[in-house]
Amino acid sequence: MSITTSDRLLFEELDARDQLANFRQQFELPERQIYLNGNSLGPPPRDVWPTMRRVLSEWRDDLNVSWFRHGWLDLPRLTGDLIGELVGAAPGQVVIGDSTSVNLYKLLCGAHALRPDRDIVLTHRENFPSDLYVAEGVARTLGKRVVLVDSDDLGDAIDDFVAVVMASHVDYRTSAVLPLRDVTATAHRHGALVLWDLSHSAGVLSPDLDANNVDLAVGCGYKYLSGGPGAPAYMYLARRLIENFDQPVTGWLGHRDPFAFDEVFAPDQSVGRLQTGCPPILSVAALHAALRVVGAAPVDQVRAKSLALTQQFVELAEQELAGTGIKLIGPRCAEHRGSHISLRHPAAKRIVVELAARGVIVEYRAPDLLRCGLAPLYVRFVDVWDAIQVLVTVAEELALKEVNTP
């Protein structure tokens, strides 16, 4: 090992200068562990506890009246606006509900309704599998086609037959950031709509939805947003599209007056038309509480720390893991990375188990990846240093050696 303990001091200094350092104490983190998996399930902010107690009391004390008295009916849109702040969307364009997968279905069908003479959903094969499965389901339902291309070819593959381009802003495996602005502009030149999945970017990297003229977006509530297991997801619908947007799962909560109990569906005039049934208030309240914490951090400071963390991780890993056969994957340039780093090794599964036994929590992604999420609000620079030292120990104990293939 070339590094000495004094090098840890450099990382301690980075922490001492970190403007976001105080956010860490607002989260409940597992003791004696380095948690590098917040991009899979974010840890709970402490404020979630009093919020949940309050909402449980509202339920107990005021029962059904709470929908109005305690603003439960408005909560999905208010919570949506908090997400809007993280993703560059002005108020009134984001609403919470269901899961990312279900929301993709609603928005993909709605997009096709706006481009009825076009047949293609264009997406990239590196996209998250659930996104691809939903696209296939939409194609089956509507008699359309899914066209898959490599991420790098996405922009070039857009033509005048494409109804909607569906892509993930940050790749869940490689952390590669797709060129959201360029792909969106190219799609628009060809008359297509764009639907971005922000699951691995919202909370660490703003897609600037309004400024980039994005049409539609979805994302997950339980990753960097720390909304809790199975937290409701969200949908963004650009204001200019709301009036004519027709999603297929029209339910009473998307009606302009749910309590009129009309026989005929009339869509809400706001982004609320994307809702279907009753929102899960306990879960929405937890997400709302979490977003009050996550949203208090300035977006540009969060991105700056994320870039610094991933850069330190990459430089240290390259230096320390040489000869072990553990390879960094993904973009070399920090600007093109999200906030996680993946490492590749044939024994990845074993390594992840050994790391966990030593208190370093990362995620295994089949077949050979270890994914390390560096969430800027609670991961410290010393955590990067310590995690890599543990990784080096594990590599030594497993006697990992680079195998030179001729």
Ligand X SMILES: *Cc1c(COP(=O)(O)O)cnc(C)c1O
The residues that touch ligand X, with contacts defined as CB under 6 A, are 99-101, 128, 130-131, 168, 172, 197, 199-200, 220, 233
Q: Which residue in this structure is represented by tokens 């950031």?
A: 177
Nearest to residue 274, comparing CAs of 98, 405, 393? 98
Backbone angles phi, psi at 148, to 5 degrees: -105, 130
Q: Which residue in this structure is represented by tokens 């003791």?
A: 31
3-state DSSP call for residue 120? strand
What is the residue type of 399? A
Q: Which is nearer to ligand X, 81 or 131 (CB)?
A: 131
Q: Which is nearer to ligand X, 173 or 358 (CB)?
A: 173
- Single out the catalytic residue among 371, 378, 380, 383: 371
Q: Which is nearer to ligand X, 222 or 381 (CB)?
A: 222
- Single out the catalytic residue among 18, 81, 197, 215: 197
Q: Residue 150: exposed, middle, or buried by beta-carbon count in 10 A (0-12, 13-18, 19+)?
A: exposed
Q: Which is nearer to ligand X, 124 or 200 (CB)?
A: 200
Smallest gap from residue 81 Cβ to ligand X (A): 20
Smallest gap from residue 99 Cβ to ligand X (A): 3
If one counts every other C-beta atom within 10 angstroms of the C-beta of residue 69, the result is: 12
Nearest to residue 245, comparing CAs of 253, 257, 233, 254? 254
3-state DSSP call for residue 7? helix
Q: Is 371 assigned a catalytic role? A: yes
- Single out the catalytic residue among 77, 118, 144, 223: 223
Smallest gap from residue 130 Cβ to ligand X (A): 5
What is the CB-side half-sphere exposure of residue 383 using CA atoms within 13 A?
25
Nearest to residue 389, comparing CAs of 363, 360, 357? 360
Q: Is 197 assigned a catalytic role? A: yes
The span from the CA of 368 to the CA of 339, in Å, is 20
Q: Which is nearer to ligand X, 173 or 256 (CB)?
A: 173
- Single out the catalytic residue among 23, 222, 234, 245: 222
Under 8 Å between Cβ of 122 and 147 = yes
Q: Is 223 assigned a catalytic role? A: yes
Smallest gap from residue 101 Cβ to ligand X (A): 3
Smallest gap from residue 307 Cβ to ligand X (A): 20
- Single out the catalytic residue among 11, 23, 27, 128: 128
Would the CA dihedral through 81, 296, 12, 17 be positive or negative? positive
Q: Which residues pair with 149 in a beta bridge?
A: 124
Smallest gap from residue 36 Cβ to ligand X (A): 16
Under 8 Å between Cβ of 342 and 175 = yes
Q: Which is nearer to ligand X, 131 or 320 (CB)?
A: 131
Nearest to residue 172, comparing CAs of 17, 40, 355, 8? 40
Smallest gap from residue 169 Cβ to ligand X (A): 9
3-state DSSP call for residue 364? strand
Under 8 Å between Cβ of 351 and 362 = no
239's tokens? 């204001």
**Active site residue ranges:** 128, 197, 222-223, 371
